Chain A
Amino acid sequence: MNGDEACAEGAISAGCCFFAGYPITPATEIAERMSKRLPQVEGIFIQMEDEIASMNAVLGASWAGVKAMTATSGPGFSLMMENLGLGVMLETPCVLVDVQRAGPSTGLPTLVGQGDMMQARWGSHGSYEIIALVPSSPQEIFDLTITAFNLSEKYRVPVLIMSDEAVGHMSEKVVVRQVAPDDLVARKRPRVAPEKYQPYKPDKDLVPPMAIAGEGYHFHVTGLTHDERGYPEMTAEAQDRLVRRLSDKIRLNKRDIIKYEEVSTEDAQVIVCAYGITARIARRAVQQARDEGIRAGLLRPITIWPFPEERVRALAKQVKAFIVPEINYGQIVFEVERCAGSKAKTILVPNMGGAVHLPQTILEAIREAAK
Chain B
Amino acid sequence: MGRVEIRIAGFGGQGIVLTGHIVGQAASIYDSGFATFTQSYGPESRGGSCTAEVVTSDEPIDYPYVQNPQVLIILSQEAYAKYVNSLPKGTLVVIDSDLVKPSPSHNPVPLSIPATRMAREMGRAVVANIIMLGFLAAVSDLFSTEALRKSILASVPEGTGDFNMKAFELGYDYGLKHRVRS
Nearest Cβ in chain A — how far from B75, in angstroms? 20
State in angstroms the CA–CA spacing of A171 and B28 once bound together: 11
Q: Which of B8-16, B62-70, B106-114 is the contact stretch? A: B62-70
**Chain A contact residue count (CB 8 A cutoff):** 16
List the B side residues contacting A284 at CB < 8 Å.
62-63
Nearest Cβ in chain A — how far from B48, in angstroms? 11
Q: Does B122 contact A (CB under 8 A)?
A: no
List the A side residues contacting B65 at CB < 8 Å.
356
- Contact of B62 with A171 in the complex, beta carbons under 8 Å: no
List the A side residues contacting B39 at CB < 8 Å.
169
Centre residue among B36, B43, B64, B65 by max chain A CB count within 10 A: B64
The residue of chain B having its C-beta at the shortest distance from the C-beta of A279 within the complex is B62
State in angstroms the CA–CA spacing of A305 and B65 once bound together: 28
- Contact of B34 with A172 in the complex, beta carbons under 8 Å: yes
Which residues of chain B (25-66) have a CB below 8 Å from chain A?
28-29, 34-41, 43, 61-65
State in angstroms the CA–CA spacing of A169 and B36 once bound together: 10
- Contact of B38 with A166 in the complex, beta carbons under 8 Å: yes
Nearest Cβ in chain A — how far from B174, in angstroms? 28
Known A171-B37, A172-B36, A173-B35; contact A359-B28, beta-carbon cutoff 8 A = no
Q: Does B24 contact A (CB under 8 A)?
A: yes
How many interface residues does chain B have, given as a range?
Answer: 10 to 19
Q: Does A287 contact B (CB under 8 A)?
A: yes
State in angstroms the CA–CA spacing of A141 and B88 once bound together: 34
- Contact of B21 with A171 in the complex, beta carbons under 8 Å: yes
- Contact of A280 with B63 in the complex, beta carbons under 8 Å: yes
List the A side residues contacting B34 at CB < 8 Å.
172-173
Q: Does A283 contact B (CB under 8 A)?
A: yes
The residue of chain B having its C-beta at the shortest distance from the C-beta of A2 within the complex is B37
Encoded as 1 (CB less than 8 Å from any B CB) or 0, chain A from 253 to 277 comes to 0000000000000000000000001
List the A side residues contacting B41 at CB < 8 Å.
110
Nearest Cβ in chain A — how far from B93, in angstroms? 23
Encoded as 1 (CB less than 8 Å from any B CB) or 0, chain A from 107 to 119 comes to 0001000000000
- Contact of B62 with A172 in the complex, beta carbons under 8 Å: no
- Contact of B62 with A170 in the complex, beta carbons under 8 Å: no
How many pairs, one residue from A and one from B, have CB atoms within 8 Å of each other in the complex? 41
Centre residue among B24, B29, B36, B62 by max chain A CB count within 10 A: B62
Nearest Cβ in chain A — how far from B1, in angstroms? 16
List the B side residues contacting A172 at CB < 8 Å.
24, 28, 34-37, 61
- Contact of A280 with B62 in the complex, beta carbons under 8 Å: yes
Which residues of chain A (144-179) have a CB below 8 Å from chain B?
166, 169-173
Q: Does A61 contact B (CB under 8 A)?
A: no
Q: Does A281 contact B (CB under 8 A)?
A: yes
- Contact of B21 with A110 in the complex, beta carbons under 8 Å: no
- Contact of A283 with B38 in the complex, beta carbons under 8 Å: no
- Contact of A170 with B63 in the complex, beta carbons under 8 Å: no
List the B side residues contacting A281 at CB < 8 Å.
62-63
State in angstroms the CA–CA spacing of A281 and B64 once bound together: 8
List the B side residues contacting A169 at CB < 8 Å.
38-39
Known A172-B28, A173-B29; contact A287-B62, beta-carbon cutoff 8 A = yes
List the A side residues contacting B38 at CB < 8 Å.
166, 169-171
List the B side residues contacting A359 at CB < 8 Å.
63
Nearest Cβ in chain A — how far from B64, in angstroms? 6
- Contact of B63 with A171 in the complex, beta carbons under 8 Å: no
Centre residue among A170, A277, A283, A358 by max chain B CB count within 10 A: A170
- Contact of B43 with A170 in the complex, beta carbons under 8 Å: no
State in angstroms the CA–CA spacing of A277 and B61 once bound together: 12
- Contact of B28 with A166 in the complex, beta carbons under 8 Å: no
- Contact of B62 with A283 in the complex, beta carbons under 8 Å: yes
State in angstroms the CA–CA spacing of A41 and B167 once bound together: 38
Of the candidates A110, A171, A358, which one forms a contact with B43 in the assembled complex, judged by CB atoms under 8 Å apart?
A110
List the A side residues contacting B35 at CB < 8 Å.
172-173
Nearest Cβ in chain B — how far from A283, in angstroms? 4
Encoded as 1 (CB less than 8 Å from any A CB) or 0, chain B from 57 to 92 comes to 000011111010000000000000000000000000
Which residues of chain A (321-371) have a CB below 8 Å from chain B?
356, 358-359
- Contact of A280 with B64 in the complex, beta carbons under 8 Å: yes
List the B side residues contacting A280 at CB < 8 Å.
61-64
State in angstroms the CA–CA spacing of A173 and B35 once bound together: 7
Ordered by A's residue number, 18 sampled pairs between the chains whose C-beta atoms are within 8 Å are A110-B41, A166-B38, A166-B64, A171-B21, A171-B24, A172-B24, A172-B61, A173-B29, A277-B64, A280-B61, A280-B63, A280-B64, A281-B62, A281-B63, A284-B62, A284-B63, A358-B67, A359-B63
Known contacts A169-B38, A280-B64; 6 further A-B pairs (Cβ under 8 A): A166-B64, A171-B38, A172-B28, A173-B35, A283-B62, A359-B63
- B interface residues with partner A (beta carbon < 8 Å): 21, 24, 28-29, 34-41, 43, 61-65, 67
- The 7 lowest CB-CB distance pairs between A and B, nearest first, are A173-B28, A171-B37, A284-B62, A283-B62, A284-B63, A280-B62, A170-B38
